[in-house]
Amino acid sequence: MNRLLELQKLGQSIWYDNIHRHLLHSGELERMIKDDGLGGVTTNPTIFEKAIGGGDAYDKPIKTLLNAHPGLSDQSLFDALAVDDVQHAADLFKEAYEHSRHVDGMVSIEVSPELAYDTDATVSEARRLFQAVKRPNCMIKVPATREGLTAIETLTSEGINVNATLLFSVKRYRDVAESYILGLEKRLRRGQSLEGITSVASFFVSRVDTKIDGLLQARLEQAGEGQQAEIRMLLGRIAIANAKMAYQAYLEIFATERFAHLQSAGARPQRLLWGSTGTKNPAYSDTLYIDKLIGPHTVNTIPPATYQAFKDHGHPRRTLDTAVDEARRQLAALAALNIDLDAVTGTLEEEGVRQFADSYHQVIGVIGEKRRRLGLS
C-alpha cells in the first residue's frame, strides 16, 4: 500500500516542500508524480538556500549564465536560477495540472520576503515573477501580512495564482479568504473569466506547537500537582486544534451564498494548505502533522524526511473534521492559562518573515561566494 496515494483517496493533495537540480534532472520528481501521485511543489528562500549552497549542482548553470551575461548581479543570478527550476518543475507537472482541471500540478515561487510589508512592491514583483515563469501552473507565494492582504486581492483580480503563505492564526486565514473572494468579485465585475484561477492559503502548523509548548512548560513549573496533568494534556495539541478551527472556517466561508455565486461563474474555493508539517519535537510522532490533518479539499506540503516517514508508517485516515469539540476545549483551556494564542501567532508571523528574509540574504551571499570561487566575479 502506498500511503500517499491513500491520502489522495481521502481528498487531500500531497505537494513536496522542496526543490533542487538533482530532483528535477534525475527523474526523481517524475517518479514521485507517477508513483506517489505527487500534486505540486512549494519553494521558499530557505529551500533555495539549501539547494544552491548544498553542493556543486548549480555551478555549471551559474557559469553558463555569467558567460552569457557577465554583468548579472548576484540577485539577478538567483532570480534566473530559481525561475529556471520552477519552469522545469512546472513542465514536469503539466499533465497533472491538466488532468486535475488546474487544481493540482502547481509549483510555487515566493516574492522576496523583503517586500512583505510593502503592498505595491509585492504586487509588482508578483506580476514580474508570474510573467518570467510563463507557466499557467505557476503559483506566486505572497506573505499574508496585513500589507499582503491587499496584494492577494489585487493579484487574484488579475488572474494570477496566489499561494498566501505564513499563516498562523484563524483570524488571518479569514482575512486571506476574504481577500481572495474580493479579488474574484472584482474580476467578475469587469466581465473577466474566473475559470482556472487556483489559490491556496498556507497555514503553518508545527511552529505553533514549538512556541506554545515552551509557554506551557513554563506554566508547568509554576503549577500545583492538580493542574500539571491538565497542562501536560495540551502539549503538542494546540497546533492541530488551531488548524482544525481554520478548516471549520474554510467550510463555513466557502459554503455561503456569496461564494456560490462566484462558483457558478467558474470560481473554485481557495484550499487550505498545511505547511511546516515536519515534526520538530523528537518526542512526537514524525508523522503527527500529517496524520492529524487529513481531510477533503486540502493540501499538505511535506518536507523530504516527513514525506518518506509517512510513506513508510503514516496513518491515512480522515481526521481533520473529527474531535472538533475537543479541539475547541483545548484552545479554551489554553486561554484559561492566560496564554494568548493571537499574540503567539502574531510573533510567529514576524519571525517567519524575518527568517525567510535572512535566508534570502544568505542565498545571495552563497551565489556571490560561488561566483568568486569560480573566478567569475
pLDDT tens digits, residue range 341-372? 999 999 999 999 999 999 999 999 999 988 88
pLDDT in tens, 318-328: 999 999 999 99
| 230: pLDDT strictly greater than 90 | yes
For residues 6-30, give the mean pLDDT: 97
The position carrying cell 503563505 is: 165
pLDDT in tens, 27-48: 999 999 999 999 999 999 899 9
What confidence score (pLDDT) does residue 184 get?
A: 98
In the chain, what percentage of residues exceed pLDDT 90?
A: 90
C-alpha to C-alpha distance for 292 and 147, rounded to whole angstroms: 32
| 376: pLDDT strictly greater than 90 | no
| 377: pLDDT strictly greater than 80 | no
Q: Where in the sequence numbering do the catalytic residues fall?
A: 141
What confidence score (pLDDT) does residue 226 get?
A: 75
| 311: pLDDT strictly greater than 70 | yes
Q: Where would I find the beta strands (DSSP E) of the chain?
A: 12-16, 40-41, 106-110, 138-143, 162-167, 199-204, 271-275, 298-302
Q: Where are the domains of the chain?
A: 3-373
What confidence score (pLDDT) does residue 303 get?
A: 98
For residues 66-80, give the mean pLDDT: 92
pLDDT in tens, 88-97: 999 999 999 9
Which cell goes with 45? 528562500
pLDDT in tens, 245-280: 999 999 999 999 999 999 999 999 999 999 999 999
What confidence score (pLDDT) does residue 199 get?
A: 98
Greater confidence (377 vs 161) lies with 161
323 CB neighbour count, 10 Å cutoff: 15
Residues 6+ apart with CB under 8 A from 161: 106, 130, 137, 138, 139, 140, 197, 198, 199
Pairing mode, strands 106-110 and 162-167: unpaired
| 65: pLDDT strictly greater than 80 | yes
| 70: pLDDT strictly greater than 90 | no
The position carrying cell 479568504 is: 177
Class of domain 3-373: alpha beta
Nearest Cα to Cα of residue 191 among 151, 154, 155, 159: 159
- Report the predicted TM-score, pTM, of the whole model to 2 decimal places: 0.96
